[in-house]
Amino acid sequence: MTATPDDELADRRAAKRSLRIARYGSWLVRLLSATWRIRRERAEIFDSFFVRGEPAVFTIWHGQMLPMLVAHRNRGVAVLISEHQDGEIIAQIAERFGFRTVRGSSSRGASRALVELSRVLERGQSVAITPDGPRGPSRSFAPGALIAAQRSGAPVVPVGMSVSRAWRLKSWDRFVVPKPFARITVAYGDPVVLRGDSLRDAAAEAPRFQALMDEAESLATR
């Protein structure tokens, strides 16, 4: 269906609105996050991939994306973000914090996004994926991250988080915004290389990685 002039005008207005929100949102996040106290448990797991120049697939829950972006800023990680309107705002904020963005969804059959993720990994760059995004169910591990990992041979690293005090939005993922002077702990699980012979084998591992995400979160709450 051909777009009308009115459609194009609406798209331009939406793009300008997203840019404006992202600009002010980035400023507010920088101001707020300057008061956060971030501690990383088993940080050597994350850092080792950058020391060796090897890629990994880091998995985080969608609702924890904001403090995770701050905790891992300026490391050049590529993050998968949905193509929805709210995803555009998050993508622009992520880029302002030194992330590369890949647009699409790994949980809704978006093969283009998975192909791009595989290419990024094959070039030696790490990626971060929210396996319950872009629309949930919350904390339900969809297999897209595992498929991208198997295609590239990169290990999967579950990442958990806890926060001492936070606002939680009334969204499907209970999006976390740490309050001023919050204590944030990020913990990394052991890297896991998928050994299956097919993409179906990779997808079948989703329940195991659901449990590994729970274990990483337990490490962050100790």
CATH of the domain at 209: 3.40.1010.10
**Global confidence as pTM:** 0.88
| pLDDT per residue as tens, the chain (222 positions) | 555 665 566 656 766 776 787 788 889 999 999 999 999 999 999 999 999 999 999 999 999 999 999 999 999 999 988 776 667 788 888 999 999 998 775 444 457 788 888 889 999 999 999 999 778 899 999 998 998 999 899 999 999 999 999 999 999 999 999 999 999 999 999 999 998 778 888 889 999 999 999 999 999 998
For residue 33, the model assigns a pLDDT of 96
- Looking at the DSSP bridge assignments, the partners of residue 41 are 187
**Domain limits at 204?**
5-220
For residue 86, the model assigns a pLDDT of 67
Residue 198 exposure: Cα atoms within 13 Å on the Cβ side: 3
Tokens of 82: 């949905």
- Looking at the DSSP bridge assignments, the partners of residue 168 are 176
Q: How many domains does the chain have?
A: 1
For residue 15, the model assigns a pLDDT of 63
